[in-house]
Structure 1
Amino acid sequence: MPLTEDTQILDTSKGLVERLQVASGGTHAGFRPAHARGRLLTGTFTPTSQASTLSKAHHFNAPSTPLTIRFSSSTGIPDIPDNDPTANPRGIALRFHLPEKDGKRQHTDIIAHSTQFFPTRTGAEFLEFLHAATGPDAETAVPEFLSRHPETVEFLQDPKPSPVSFATEIFYGVNAFKLIDSAGKTTFVRYRVVPVAGLHTLSDKETKVKSKDYLFDELATRLESSPFELKLLAQIAEEGDVTDNALKRWPVERNLAELGTVKVEKVLAEEESLKEQKKIIFDPIPRVDGVDVSEDPLLEVRATVYLVSGRQRREA
C-alpha cells in the first residue's frame, strides 16, 4: 500500500516511529518500534452463521480462511523478558489470507492488545506524550502532560497482569469499524479476541519467578499436543455510542456477537519467524469489501506508523 499523501499524518507517524525507538533504547534494525518481540504462527478461521448476517466480507462467509497469527509483547525491545511487567500489554495480529484477485495476493488484518484502554485520542497527542517521556525534562514534562490528559493516566494505571499463556489472554480492539452486509446495512463494532480456555493471569509475584521466555516457550509446548482456539467477537454499538474515539468505551451490556473461531495450529520455527516478521506489515485498516473504517483519526496514523516501520524493517 502507498504512503499517505497527508503530510501532517506522515510527519506525525514518522515522529512516532522515531520516538518509540528512542523510548526503547534506540533503533533495533529489523524489528518493530513497538511490540518488537513476537512470534508468528499459522491457523484457520471458521466463521459463524451470524458473521455472514453482519458482513459480506469473504472471510465472514467462506467455510474457512487460512490465518497468519502474531503474538507479541510490548515495547520496542526485541529481547524483553516475558516476565518483565513492562512487556504488558500483549498483542495479537490476525491476517486473513483471502483469494487472489487479478493475480495478486489479498488479505485483511485485525490487531488488538490486552487492555481496553489507549493512551491518547490522536496520534499527535501520543507523539507529544512520547516527546515528554523521552526528552531531557521528562521529570516535569510528563506530569504536566498527564495533568492535561487524564485518559493517559487511565491507560497507565489500568492493571496489566501477565497471562499464564497467550492462549489464556483476552485481546481488545480499541478502534471501531463498520461491518457492511450484502444489503448495505452498516453495523459499528469493536473486535475482541477471547480464549476458549478462559482468562488466566499471574500475580506479580508469580510472574517474577517465571523464566524470561516462559510465554513463547509455552506456545510451542502447548501446540505439540494439539491446536488451541480463540473466539473472535464483535461488541456491537447502539445508537448514541461514540464510534470515532478510541477512548470512549461502550457500556459492558452491549451485545457481543460471535464472529467465528480462530484455531491456532502451528508455531513457526524461530529462525523462520524472525525472517517473516521483517517482511510482514500488518494493517489496522481493513481494505476489504464488507468491512470499513470508522471516523477514528487514530486509524490512518496507526496504519502509516505500521507502514513506515515496516519499510524500515525490510530495508534493514
Structure 2
Amino acid sequence: MPLPNDERIVALADDLLRQFDEIFGLHPGFRPAHAKGLLLTGTFTPSSGGRALTKAPHIVRESSPVTVRFSNSTGLPEIPDNVPDANPRGMAIRFHLADHVHTDIVSHSTDGFPTRDGQEFLGLLRAIAASGPDVPSPKPVEQFLGSHPAALAFVQAPKPFPSSLARENYFAVTAFAFTNGEDKTVYGRYRMVPEAGTDYLNSEQVAALAPNYHYEELAARVTQQPIRFRILVQLAQSGDTVDDATIHWPESREVVEFGTVELTAILPETDPEQKRIIFDPIPRVEGIEPSADPLLELRAAIYLLSGRRRRAASASQAQAAAAVASPS
C-alpha cells in the first residue's frame, strides 16, 4: 500500500491527522478516528451474483479467510458505547488472498459522507474544533453546516444505537468499478446487511448500557453462533454520479448479492493486531477498480500515515516494556 505520488494529497492527509489530534487528543498506538474496536475472523463465500459482477480473486475462489474490525466513531479509545458520538459505527473487512496479499472493504453505519472532498472535510473538522461550549452562536460548525447542505444532511441523518454490532447495516462510502470475465464494467457501492436483521434500542435502553456493552456482547455472541453478513452491491445506472460520496442513488437501483461473510471467533492476539493492521479503502485487485472519487486516494494516505504512526508507537511501547522487564 504506497503513499500517493501527489504531494498535495499527502500534505492534506497530514493536516487532517493533526486536526483529529486536536479534537480527540493524542492516543499513541490508536487510530485518530474509530479508535475503539474489535477484530474477528471468519470466511467469505462468494455468490453467483458476485461472480457475474467481477473477476476479482476472492470472487472466483470457493472461499477466502477474512478479518473484520467493528469500531466506534471518534479517536477516543475508551469512548462509552452508549454516547451519541460513538455513532456511526464502523465495519472493515479484509479478504486474505495470499501471504501479504489482500483486498479490503471499509464501511460505516451511515449511508454516505459529509463532504465531497478532503479540503471540505478539513474545513468541517476545523469548524468543529473551533466550536467549544463557550463559543457563542452561530458557532463555526453551525456556519459550516449552514453553507454545506450535504454535511448538514449527514449530521442530521438518524444514527440509532444497535442492540448488537452484528445487527446493524454498514455502507461503503465510495463507488467502485466492477469488471467481470467478459470485460463488462458497472459501478456499484457495497452495503453489509446482517443475516439476523437490524435491531435498535430505545433511549431508555441506551442509557442503561455498560460502557463496553457492544464489544462484550459481540464477543459473547460469536462464541454461541456464527455472525453472518450478506455483502450486497447497489448498482449505478447510466447518468448516476459515481465520484461523489455525498450523493445517494435511489433505492430503486438494482442490488446484487456479492457474497456472505461468516465470523466465527475473536482474533487471537487482537490487541497487537489492532495496532498493526492497516485497512486500505482502494481495492487494488483485478476486477475491482477505484472510481474517480477524490476521497479514495486521500483516505488511503490517511490510513497509511496513521497506521505507520500506530505501529511506531506500539514498537516504542514494546521496547519500553522490555527495558523495564530486563533492567541493565
TM-score w.r.t. the length of structure 2 is 0.92
CA-CA distance at 1:5 after TM superposition: 2.2
Letter matched to residue 305 of structure 2: V
Identify the match of residue 122 of structure 2 among 112, 120, 127: 127
Distance 1:15 1:169 in 2: 32
RMSD value, Cα: 1.2
Query: Which runs of structure 2 are paired with 1:1-316 in the superposition (5 Å)?
Result: 1-24=1-24, 26-100=25-99, 105-135=100-130, 139=136, 140-269=139-268, 272-316=269-313
Segments of 5+ residues of structure 2 without an aligned counterpart are: 314-328
Structure 1 counterpart SS, 2:189: strand
Distance 1:150 1:234 in 2: 26
Distance 1:250 1:93 in 2: 22
CA-CA distance at 1:233 after TM superposition: 0.2
Comparing 117-126 with 28-37, greater Cα deviation is found at: 117-126
The answer (yes or no) to whether the contact 1:117–1:154 under 8 Å persists in 2 is no
Aligned length: 309
CA-CA distance at 1:136 after TM superposition: 7.0
Letter matched to residue 95 of structure 2: F
Structure 2 counterpart SS, 1:283: coil
1:199-219 superposed Cα distances (whole Å, 9 cap, x missing partner):
101122211101111110011
Letter matched to residue 22 of structure 1: E
Distance 1:82 1:273 in 2: 19
TM-score w.r.t. the length of structure 1 is 0.95
Q: Indicate the percent of aligned positions where both proteins have the same amino acid.
A: 48
- Structure showing greater radius of gyration is 2
Distance 1:73 1:143 in 2: 24
The answer (yes or no) to whether the contact 2:114–2:155 under 8 Å persists in 1 is yes
The answer (yes or no) to whether the contact 1:161–1:204 under 8 Å persists in 2 is no
1:263-302 superposed Cα distances (whole Å, 9 cap, x missing partner):
0110135xx2121011100000000111000010011111
The answer (yes or no) to whether the contact 2:171–2:192 under 8 Å persists in 1 is yes
Distance 2:142 2:227 in 1: 43
1:178-214 superposed Cα distances (whole Å, 9 cap, x missing partner):
1111122111000000000001011222111011111
The answer (yes or no) to whether the contact 1:219–1:267 under 8 Å persists in 2 is no
